Structure 1
Amino acid sequence: MFFSRTLLKRHSVLPGFDLALGFTLLYLSLVVLIPLSAAFLKAATMTPEAFWDAVASPRVVASYRLTFGASFIAALVNAFFGLLIAWVLVRYDFPGRRLVDALVDLPFALPTAVAGITLTALYAENGWIGQHLPFKVSFTPLGVFVALLFIGLPFVVRTLQPVLEDLGRELEEAAATLGATRWQSFSRVTLPILAPALLTGFALAFARALGEYGSVIFIAGNLPMVSEITPLMIISKLEQYDVPGATAIAVVMLVASFVMLLLINMLQGWARRRQGQ
């Protein structure tokens, strides 16, 4: 123990390592660990039968399918288009580029309730966009997907942009001199380098979509067994003063999110190791 502490101090560039580490652990415990632990402890007070009834009712299971399915598909779509948008913003100079770059951050700055109302008005059957579509968007699961696309895109773009800016074009030019086509240089040289950042952006977009509430409830319509999301089920339980039931659903969401993020982190580590090879 003494040797490890001495080794940490020897390799620390900045002074005050012990104090900084103590404040870091204290802050993380107060903000993250204690609230999450409280949710698990509250759910542990329930009997197994009551816990199962709370988390496995048909209405709640339908909300799981919609929340996780729409979040995953929206994150995949945002990963593709986020890469495209980041590529255009970094690699090309065109009139209005700064305006487009600023518009990417709009979902960050816009209140979620305003986003939900705006999307509902646009995609309603008599809305500017909805009236020209042959299918219904608002008050359907498709509306949930549209809202999750809107709020998740900036996470992918802002994660990829710094990596693309640091990457430069030297590797692509070297691949071109060796006879590689543009697609070959992108798929075999650039994309493997971008893979960890792309997975990070996907994970951030997916995690944000799982917990999104304000922008979704307006456009979803909240129809039972059709367009109810899991965060809404938690709110409904709380409105009925069923705190244990709400906590049980929250614990299921936490565990599922942890598992998904763990798998994504493992993929990120594999991509970095392969890149290092």
Structure 2
Amino acid sequence: MPRGDASGWRGHSVIPGFNLTLGLTLLWLSLIVLIPLAALFVKTAELTPEHIVNILTSTRTLNALKISFGLSLVAAAINLVLGAVIVWALVRYDFPGRRILDALIDIPFALPTAVAGIALTTLYAENGWIGSWLAPLGIRVSFTPLGILVALIFIGLPFVVRTVQPVLEDLDHELEEAATTLGAGRLTTIRRIVLPAVLPAFLTGFALAFARAVGEYGSVIFIAGNLPNVSEIAPLLIVIRLEEFRYADATTIAVTMLVAAFILLFIINGLQRWSETRTGRAG
């Protein structure tokens, strides 16, 4: 294989400093990510299997994990649909206020999570601007699992929009025009031309939104009500166990969340690679 081939190892580079930058990258990742995660696993390894099983099979732990992962998946799926609609409107149409709407998408990035939680709680409380309209219909948002879902949708939407938007912007419009010229309908063009091109970005946005939702804490605890077995999320249960000096319980729950998140992200990344491979072959 010739040296410098894109598919092989590059022996030399025009720009020097590879060894230094790689060393700094590995050192930084080790200090910030790898060592703390390794310490978490080492701490859990000190427990007996029976102890771990007892912690994870307790009713409160199971319900907290179900709420965190279940609502995170639902919120990510909703953001996938809503994000697709928003991206399509921002990219394909020019309308008054489009730049303002585009800037508003980034608010959850910059807004402190505690502020977001307080704002959502105020809006969706039974005497709030939105909650006062929902209360007569028998719909309660604040201090219920539905409130958790609203908060997770709020903080996860930008991840989908900002991941898919540049891909859709770079999509060659000539391909769509050619498909239309050949007699393809609008739905056929979207299904055969647009969707395969943006599908990897959609999967990435879904994974990012899900990962953020699983670990979200600040905006959720204000609107959730934090009732054990009802609206208590796993990150809050970890904090409670730490405050009770039950470090083994907190560590076990944290490792379980970490492993489950890794597995789901691995599956999603595998689907993304499969989609990219299929799109490349089709092209």
Q: TM-score range by the shorter chain?
A: over 0.9
Answer yes or no: is 1:235 the counterpart of 2:236: no
Letter in 2 for 1:130: G
Aligned match for 1:203, one of 199, 204, 207: 207
- The 5 A counterparts of 1:120-139 are 120-133=121-134, 134=137, 135-139=139-143
Kindly indicate whether the alpha-carbon contact (under 8 Å) linking 1:78 and 1:152 is maintained by their aligned counterparts in 2.
yes
Structure 2, unpaired ranges of 5+? none
Q: How far, CA to CA, are the matches of 2:124 and 2:16 in structure 1?
A: 56
TM-superposed deviation, 1:168: 3.1
**What is the aligned partner in structure 2 of residue 217 from structure 1?**
221
Report the number of matched residues. Answer: 273
Q: CA deviation at 1:48?
A: 1.7
Q: State the partner residue of 1:109.
A: 110
1:245 is aligned, of 214, 239, 249, to 249
Tell me the distance in 2 between the aligned counterparts of 1:247 and 1:151: 26
What residue number does 1:140 align with?
A: 144
Q: Deviations over 1:232-274 (max 9, x none)?
A: 0100000001112101100000100000000001100110011
For normalisation by structure 2, the TM-score amounts to 0.94
Q: Which residue of 1 aligns with 2:168?
A: 164
Q: Is the 8 A contact 1:9 1:17 kept in 2?
A: no
SS in 2 for 1:76: helix
Shift of 1:13: 4.1
Residues 134-165 of structure 1: per-residue CA shift (max 9 Å, x gap)? 21111111110000000000000000111111
Aligned-partner Cα distance in 2 for 1:65–1:246: 16
Q: How far apart in 1 are the matches of 2:92 and 2:182? A: 22
The CA deviation at 1:9 is 4.4
Deviation at 1:14, TM superposition (A): 2.3
Structure 1 CA distance for aligned equivalents of residues 10 and 16 of structure 2: 8
1:86 aligned residue: 87
Instruction: State the Cα distance separating 1:49 from its structure 2 match.
Output: 1.9
Secondary structure of the 1:10 match is coil
**Quick one: which amino acid aligns to residue 196 of structure 2?**
P
The C-alpha deviation readout for 1:33-88, integer Å capped at 9, x for no partner, is 10100100011111222222222210010011111110001001101111111111
1:109 partner amino acid: A
Give the Cα–Cα distance (whole angstroms) in 1 for the partners of residues 257 and 146 of structure 2. 21
Root-mean-square deviation (CA), in Å? 1.4
Runs (4+) of structure 1 exceeding 2 A deviation are: 7-14
Match of 1:261 in 2: 265
Tell me which amino acid in the other structure corresponds to 2:163: T
Long gaps (5+) in structure 1: none
What CA distance in whole angstroms lies between the structure 1 residues aligned with 2:277 and 2:254? 34
Q: CA separation in 1, counterparts of 2:12 and 2:253?
A: 45
> What letter is aligned with 1:61?
L
1:34-45 equivalence runs, <5 A: 34-45=35-46
**2-structure distance, mates of 1:12, 1:127:** 61
Residue 212 of structure 2 aligns with an amino acid whose one-letter code is: R
The letter for the 1-side match of 2:22 is L
What CA distance in whole angstroms lies between the structure 2 residues aligned with 1:143 and 1:107?
16
Q: Which amino acid counterpart does residue 50 of structure 1 have in structure 2?
A: H
Matched, 1:17 2:15: no
> Residues 235 and 187 (structure 1 numbering): CA distance in 2 closer, same or farther, change over 3 Å?
same
**Amino acid aligned to 2:43:** K
- Following superposition, the deviation at residue 169 of structure 1 comes to 1.1
Give the C-alpha shift of residue 11 in structure 1: 5.2
Which TM-score applies when normalising by structure 1?
Answer: 0.96
- Give identity over the alignment, percent: 62
